[in-house]
A and B are shown apart, each in its own frame.
Chain A
Amino acid sequence: MEATTGRRDYELLRLLGRRLLQLLVVLIVVSFFTFLLIRLLPGDPVQTIIPFGQGPAFAHERALLRSDLGLNKGFFAQYWDYLTGLVQGHLGHQYSSGTPVSTLVKESLPVSLELMIYSMILALVVAIPLGVFGAYRAGTRADGAVNTTAFGLLALPNFVLALVLSFFVGAKLKWLPTGGYTAGWLDRAFVGDWGPLLVILLFIAVGVTVGAVIGRTRGLPGAGGVLGGVVGVILFMVLGIVLFHGYYDLWPHMQDMLLPSITLAAGEIAVFQRLLRSDMIQTLQENFITLAKAKGISNTRILWRHALRPSSLTLLTVAGLTAGTLIGGAVVIEVIFSIPGMGQQIFEAINAREYVALQSYIVIIAVGFVLLNFVVDFLYAVLDPRIRRARVAA
């Protein structure tokens, strides 16, 4: 078996290489197009920074500033400067205040990540049992009721749900705040120069390891890689909460995040439940399930340990894509609930015409999206050896 293991590692390495290459391409293409788009925009940053004043003294000032900002160079030279800066973590400065964009990212990225983690956990924890139940009792009245609800949720735009929740739960029942944010566990981790990088690496490491371990050893009930990922992320969260518990108030933080998380989770629950249900119905018709039944294994065990893992591949992909979108895609929800995350930053940057900041945000989000897909692909390969071979061959 020694040779097989060696080959498997090699295949995973190739997968890793392909993904890194893709990351590079996305980084270059996305940064190039945002750069191009922003250069195409009318308006001169120099005029924005020094808006008033005429005469040679001001003209001289402006010329100095122009060369300081590198704006007197050619297009590709400017792009090269920008790209090399980006790789080194220089994201530029806000025109208006001069604040480095990296500072703003450090403040807002953890907030969005927290929101993403909470809503994904909530969505998966609710959707997986519902999906399994729907497949197990397919066609019954209870299944129909769950499906109808999911269908309704799917049609409910998330901003409508946000308004409904903040009106009824927030304003009428006064159970939860209708907006605002209290710093949480992840914000602490993003302090310092290397904090963000460490957090992201730790995040990936914990997610992949736990997903892989649980996916392979089948030590826990529910060997699905999705559950593995969820457990990994929860562990990561608990780690953060324990490490930083002295620095913030957990309860106000959770109160502030609950409504936005529920809002974002609602739509995902519907999507995930439908996906898992239909995949699982197909799995339950496979021969190995009949064999398991013939062996007298209990229903619960068949469902959670035999059927869930092969059924969770589509769910895993979609969950990964959704998580990637949520890094900056929760703009509307963040604005409605006044959550100072990446979405809020993007919103402000667009309204204030802060194009340098905007292009950095877009690049960060695109890179984050590809990174998350990388984790998902990795889990995918761990979950199913056949896919691993096919993907590498392709």
Chain B
Amino acid sequence: MPGLRRSPRATPGPGSGGPTIRDEVGETVHEEFESGFSGGGALVAEEAVLVGDEGRGRGPLKWGLSFFAWLAIGWMVFIVIIAVLAKIGLVTWGDPQNVIASCARKGPFANEGTAPGHLLGCDSDGRDMIARLALGAWTSLLVGTGSVALGFLIGGTLGLIAGYFGGRLDSFLVSTFNVLLSVPGVVLALALVAFLQGSAQAGTATALPDVVILIIAIGVVAIPLIGRISRASALTWSRREFVLAARAQGAKNGRVMWREVLPNVLPAMVSIALLSVAIAIVAEGALAILGVGVRPPTPSWGNMIAIDRGELFTSPHIVFEPALLIFLTVLALNYLGDVIRAKFDVRESAI
């Protein structure tokens, strides 16, 4: 019988989806990790990977990362640097709002031919794609990380409280999450954006910037998802002996949660955070296609696709360039999330 092996433990690398090996659960790591949850997505990823591996101290290959993991880190660093530079205007790739009429709809593979001097072509108004993609990266990453941060702040805290205290509070919060989850995420986000933009238009509320509206909408959708995962994680850690020990020493609930449970829950949540940022970036794109994203002229990857979706058959480059960037970024984030999950052993079924 060649096929049915007794223990087909494939390497639990990313993409294999194989059985995760449940050995050391990041206990040794939690000291170093306390400050690890502050920066943007890629920075967190990098830091987490570094901290995670040094904590385990794995032989001569200091960080023990595969070539692809480095590629993914490299891509994220590249995107973040480009986004930040485009935003602060230190290095420019041209003005994203500058209209060059002669360049409109031209680009690689476009029916109207290529645009000399503009490597990636121009959009339907004749604005340089590179400049817009660079600034769009800023918007997309901002929405992605911002909404996940909001989701973690509220959902993560609620999940932690639910998992730690248990009992009635727990069942109340869990059923609240479940009710929220019974409305599809896209629909909920769509309704929230419409609501927030509607209030702003009627003048009853101060007009929030589109980016903030999107962060709130996507963040609210993320709350129950993140809440459930962090609750499950907090539940297991709260039953451990060291938590009991801390309580026996007279530590207050808040302190036990902050100093004992949270540092153990966080490493696992880093991988969830990376996956969530990826999902949020996609959500931004989806909402933009539905016409409720960041409004022009501010470019985001999503609204670049949305605005020129009509040009798909004549100038495909306008649509496919931001689409490719979204795909590569999501791929990189998913991959890093998987690498970290394999290291910290978050069960796949929890996601």
> Is A281 in contact with chain B by the CB < 8 A criterion?
yes
A147 to B5, CA, bound (A): 19
Q: Is the beta-carbon distance between A281 and B187 smaller than 8 angstroms? A: no
A-B contact pairs, 18 of them (CB 8 A): A136-B4, A138-B8, A150-B15, A151-B15, A151-B331, A155-B330, A159-B285, A163-B305, A274-B17, A275-B349, A281-B18, A293-B4, A331-B186, A331-B190, A336-B309, A353-B198, A365-B187, A369-B182
Interface hits, B307-326 → A, CB 8 Å = 309, 312-313, 316, 319-320, 323, 326
Q: Is the beta-carbon distance between A42 and B184 smaller than 8 angstroms? A: no
For B313, what are the chain A residues with a Cβ–Cβ distance below 8 Å?
Answer: 167, 171
Q: Is the beta-carbon distance between A167 and B286 smaller than 8 angstroms? A: no
> Is A332 in contact with chain B by the CB < 8 A criterion?
yes
Q: Is the beta-carbon distance between B16 and A144 smaller than 8 angstroms? A: yes
> Is B10 in contact with chain A by the CB < 8 A criterion?
yes
- Additional A-B contacts beyond A278-B348, A281-B8, A281-B18 (18; CB < 8 A): A30-B179, A37-B191, A40-B199, A138-B8, A138-B10, A138-B18, A147-B15, A147-B16, A151-B334, A163-B312, A164-B323, A278-B17, A284-B4, A328-B187, A331-B190, A331-B286, A336-B309, A369-B182
Q: Is the beta-carbon distance between A332 and B18 smaller than 8 angstroms? A: no
Interface hits, B168-205 → A, CB 8 Å = 175, 179, 182-187, 190-191, 194-195, 198-199, 202-204
> Is A350 in contact with chain B by the CB < 8 A criterion?
yes
Q: Is the beta-carbon distance between B179 and A278 smaller than 8 angstroms? A: no
> Is B91 in contact with chain A by the CB < 8 A criterion?
no
For B312, what are the chain A residues with a Cβ–Cβ distance below 8 Å?
Answer: 163, 166-167, 171
Q: Is the beta-carbon distance between A285 and B6 smaller than 8 angstroms? A: yes
Contact mask for chain B residues 103-125; partner A; CB cutoff 8 A; 1 contact, 0 none: 00000000000000000000000
**Distance in Å: Cβ of B67 to nearest Cβ of chain A:** 14
Q: Is the beta-carbon distance between A278 and B18 smaller than 8 angstroms? A: yes
> Is A370 in contact with chain B by the CB < 8 A criterion?
yes
Partner of B182 from the list A30, A37, A42 (CB cut-off 8 Å) is A30
For B309, what are the chain A residues with a Cβ–Cβ distance below 8 Å?
Answer: 163, 336
Q: Is the beta-carbon distance between A156 and B17 smaller than 8 angstroms? A: no
> Is B90 in contact with chain A by the CB < 8 A criterion?
no
A157 to B323, CA, bound (A): 9
**Distance in Å: Cβ of A167 to nearest Cβ of chain B:** 6
> Is B327 in contact with chain A by the CB < 8 A criterion?
yes
Most chain B C-beta atoms within 10 Å of own C-beta, residue among A135, A328, A350, A362: A350
A144 to B8, CA, bound (A): 13
**Distance in Å: Cβ of B170 to nearest Cβ of chain A:** 13
**Distance in Å: Cβ of B232 to nearest Cβ of chain A:** 15
Q: Is the beta-carbon distance between B199 and A37 smaller than 8 angstroms? A: no
Which A residues fall within an 8 A CB radius of B?
A: 25-26, 29-30, 34, 37, 40-43, 134-139, 143-144, 147-148, 150-152, 154-157, 159-160, 163-164, 166-167, 171, 274-275, 277-278, 281-282, 284-285, 289-290, 293, 299, 302-303, 314, 324-325, 327-329, 331-332, 335-336, 343, 346-347, 350-351, 353, 358, 361-362, 365-366, 369-370
Dominant SS at the B interface?
helix
A277 to B349, CA, bound (A): 12
- Number of B interface residues, CB 8 Å? 58
For A148, what are the chain B residues with a Cβ–Cβ distance below 8 Å?
Answer: 15
Q: Is the beta-carbon distance between A41 and B320 smaller than 8 angstroms? A: no
A379 to B289, CA, bound (A): 37
Select from chain A the residue with minimum beta-carbon distance to B324: A160
For B305, what are the chain A residues with a Cβ–Cβ distance below 8 Å?
Answer: 159, 163
> Is B1 in contact with chain A by the CB < 8 A criterion?
yes
For B331, what are the chain A residues with a Cβ–Cβ distance below 8 Å?
Answer: 151-152, 155
> Is B81 in contact with chain A by the CB < 8 A criterion?
no
Select from chain A the residue with minimum beta-carbon distance to B328: A155
For A314, what are the chain B residues with a Cβ–Cβ distance below 8 Å?
Answer: 349
Most chain A C-beta atoms within 10 Å of own C-beta, residue among B8, B195, B309, B323: B8
For A325, what are the chain B residues with a Cβ–Cβ distance below 8 Å?
Answer: 184-185
For B214, what are the chain A residues with a Cβ–Cβ distance below 8 Å?
Answer: none
A201 to B327, CA, bound (A): 40
- Across the A-B interface, how many residue pairs have beta carbons closer than 8 Å? 177
Q: Is the beta-carbon distance between A299 and B187 smaller than 8 angstroms? A: no
Q: Is the beta-carbon distance between A331 and B290 smaller than 8 angstroms? A: yes
**Distance in Å: Cβ of A158 to nearest Cβ of chain B:** 8
> Is B292 in contact with chain A by the CB < 8 A criterion?
yes
For A40, what are the chain B residues with a Cβ–Cβ distance below 8 Å?
Answer: 195, 199
For A353, what are the chain B residues with a Cβ–Cβ distance below 8 Å?
Answer: 194, 198
> Is B3 in contact with chain A by the CB < 8 A criterion?
yes
Q: Is the beta-carbon distance between B202 and A43 smaller than 8 angstroms? A: yes
A157 to B7, CA, bound (A): 34
> Is B282 in contact with chain A by the CB < 8 A criterion?
yes
**Distance in Å: Cβ of A70 to nearest Cβ of chain B:** 22
Query: Are A346 and B190 also in contact (CB < 8 A) when A30-B179, A329-B185 are?
Result: yes
For B18, what are the chain A residues with a Cβ–Cβ distance below 8 Å?
Answer: 138-139, 277-278, 281
Q: Is the beta-carbon distance between A335 and B179 smaller than 8 angstroms? A: no
Q: Is the beta-carbon distance between A42 and B348 smaller than 8 angstroms? A: no
**Distance in Å: Cβ of A73 to nearest Cβ of chain B:** 22
Q: Is the beta-carbon distance between B19 and A278 smaller than 8 angstroms? A: yes
A322 to B1, CA, bound (A): 36
A336 to B285, CA, bound (A): 13
Partner of B187 from the list A136, A150, A351, A362 (CB cut-off 8 Å) is A362
> Is B40 in contact with chain A by the CB < 8 A criterion?
no
Query: Are A155 and B334 also in contact (CB < 8 A) when A160-B327, A362-B191 are?
Result: yes
Q: Is the beta-carbon distance between A332 and B186 smaller than 8 angstroms? A: yes
The 5 closest A-B pairs by CB, nearest first: A329-B184, A42-B202, A138-B8, A155-B331, A151-B15
A314 to B320, CA, bound (A): 35
Interface hits, B138-181 → A, CB 8 Å = 175, 179
For B183, what are the chain A residues with a Cβ–Cβ distance below 8 Å?
Answer: 30, 362, 365-366, 369
For A134, what are the chain B residues with a Cβ–Cβ distance below 8 Å?
Answer: 17
A148 to B10, CA, bound (A): 14
> Is B14 in contact with chain A by the CB < 8 A criterion?
yes
